[in-house]
Amino acid sequence: VFIHGVTGHPEYTWVSSEATDLSNEVIWPREWLPSDFPTSRIISVGYTCTLSKLSGGQCDSLAKQSSEILKKLLLANVGQKPTFFVAHSFGGLIVKAVLRLAKEQGHDHLINNTLGIVFFSTPHLGSSFAATPLENLFVLHTDGIKDIRPSKELLKLHDDFIDIA
User: What pLDDT does 142 receive?
Assistant: 62
Phi and psi, residue 125, nearest 5°: -110, 15
The pTM score is 0.87
pLDDT in tens, 116-145: 999 999 989 887 666 555 555 455 566 666
What's the whole-number mean pLDDT along residues 34-50?
Answer: 90
Element (H, E) at 68: helix 62-75
User: What pLDDT does 76 receive?
Assistant: 96
Element (H, E) at 120: strand 114-120
Mean pLDDT lowest for which of 21-30, 87-96, 115-124? 21-30
User: What pLDDT does 137 receive?
Assistant: 47
User: What pLDDT does 19 receive?
Assistant: 45
User: What pLDDT does 26 receive?
Assistant: 83
Half-sphere exposure of 135 (CA within 13 A, CB side): 17
Mean pLDDT lowest for which of 8-22, 53-67, 78-92, 101-115? 8-22
pLDDT in tens, 3-23: 998 888 898 888 876 545 556
The Cα–Cα gap between 23 and 114 comes to 35
What's the whole-number mean pLDDT along residues 53-60?
Answer: 68
